[in-house]
């Protein structure tokens, strides 16, 4: 594949980076990334991946745009209130970069559909707002050996980690079981500072880009915690748990199931 003149100009600041070059840019154009959620994190992740020329972006969500989303979900806008988030995101990302094919999937992920929806993608990005889906994605990624870039935000705090199956920890090594329903407040209950989704989402996009390029060090065996009030980043070591229920030597979770135990869906 040769670059068009437009592509040379569009990606020139990538191509001149030693870590990217023409070869790296072609890897980006050929990459397929699956984003779960077209909300606070999915918007910046998808936006930057589209800008970077990631050729295929699948994005799954079944909500519509609400005015209360717009304080942080930057791929949507006021004119799109009531529209499906996947349609709004597709419109925004493809308008930014026509090289990118955005596949919107109007679904909720379940143990029945997740493997089929993810199977054609190279990398998975978790931008969900609830624990049942987060654990479902982790378990599916471990079973399907797909790298997972997981992000979470609440109030003035954000977290980020990257799971590379077979090479490091998984989300269950970090948090073995999900917290009981009601223990952890949601964005709706606790609030969230809008711009933090941009910080964490942008870092998720960079983790994805590094995985595609095969350059740098991703957050394997590491949880990165950002405290926006103190403006501090903290790296916490997360060793792989040899007895992890899903990625350990003798896993007890070998089939997917839904973990929807009394969680309110946002």
Partner 1 sequence: MDEVKVDKKINIKGLVCPYTFVKAKLAIEDMEVGEVLEILLDYEEASRSIPKSMEDHGQKTLKIEKINDTDWILLIKKEKE
The residue among 23 and 145 lying less far from partner 1, judged by its C-beta, is 23
83 vs 215, which CB is nearer to partner 1?
Answer: 215
Q: Least Å distance between CB 11 and partner 1?
A: 9
Closer CB to partner 1, 3 or 156, in the complex: 3
User: Where do we find the tokens 């909720």?
Assistant: 108
Task: Name the CA dihedral angle for 40, 41, 43, 46, rounded to a multiple of 10 degrees.
Answer: -170
CB nearer partner 1, residue 8 or residue 112: 8
Q: How far is the CB of 13 from partner 1 (least distance, A)?
A: 7
Task: CB nearer to partner 1: give 12 or 188.
Answer: 12
In the bound state with partner 1, the residue whose beta carbon lies nearer, of 13 and 145, is: 13
Whole-angstrom Cα distance, residue 149 to residue 239? 17
Only one residue has tokens 């998984």, namely 170
* Smallest distance, partner 1 to C-beta of residue 207, A: 24
Buried residues in 35-50 as b, exposed as e (16+ CB within 10 A): bbbbbbbbbbbbbbbb
b/e per residue, 171-200, with b = 16+ CB within 10 A? bbbbeeebeeeeeeebbeeeebbeebbbbb
- The least distance separating partner 1 from the CB of residue 202, rounded to whole angstroms, comes to 23
Q: How far apart are the first and last CA of the chain?
A: 43
Backbone phi and psi for residue 167, each to the nearest 5 degrees, phi listed first: -120, -10
Minimum separation from the CB atom of position 22 to partner 1 (A): 4
| Contacts to partner 1 by CB under 8 A | 3, 8-9, 12-13, 15-16, 18, 21-23
Least separation in angstroms between residue 23's CB and partner 1 is 6
Q: 239, 175 in Cβ contact below 8 A?
A: no
Q: Chain centroid to CA 163: how far? A: 11
**CA separation for the pair 170, 242 (Å, rounded):** 11
Nearer to partner 1, 5 or 217 (CB): 5
- Cα(61)–Cα(59) distance, integer angstroms: 7
- How large is the C-alpha radius of gyration of the chain? 18
For residue 16, the minimal CB distance to partner 1 (Å) is 6
């Amino acid at each position: 594949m040769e670059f068009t003149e437009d592509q040379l100009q569009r990606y020139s600041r990538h191509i001149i980076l030693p870590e990217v070059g023409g070869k790296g840019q072609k890897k980006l154009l050929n990459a397929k990334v699956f984003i779960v959620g077209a909300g606070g994190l999915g918007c910046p992740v998808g936006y930057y991946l589209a800008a970077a020329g990631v050729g295929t972006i699948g994005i799954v969500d079944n909500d519509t745009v609400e005015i209360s989303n717009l304080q942080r979900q930057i791929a949507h806008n006021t004119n799109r209130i009531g529209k499906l988030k996947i349609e709004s995101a597709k419109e925004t990302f493809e308008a930014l970069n026509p090289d990118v094919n955005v596949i919107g999937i109007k679904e909720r992920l379940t143990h029945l559909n997740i493997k089929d929806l993810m199977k054609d993608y190279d990398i998975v990005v978790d931008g969900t707002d609830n624990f049942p889906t987060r654990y479902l994605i982790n378990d599916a990624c471990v079973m399907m050996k797909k790298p997972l870039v997981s992000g979470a935000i609440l109030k003035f705090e954000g977290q980020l980690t990257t799971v590379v199956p077979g090479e490091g920890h998984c989300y269950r090594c970090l948090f073995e079981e999900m917290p009981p329903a009601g223990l952890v407040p949601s964005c709706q209950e606790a609030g969230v500072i809008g711009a933090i989704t941009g910080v964490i989402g942008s870092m998720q996009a960079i983790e994805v880009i590094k995985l595609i390029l095969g350059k740098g060090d991703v957050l394997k065996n590491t949880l990165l915690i950002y405290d926006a009030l103190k403006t501090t980043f903290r790296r916490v070591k997360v060793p792989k748990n040899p007895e992890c229920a899903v990625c350990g030597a003798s896993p007890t979770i070998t089939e997917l199931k839904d973990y929807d135990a009394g969680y309110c869906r946002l």
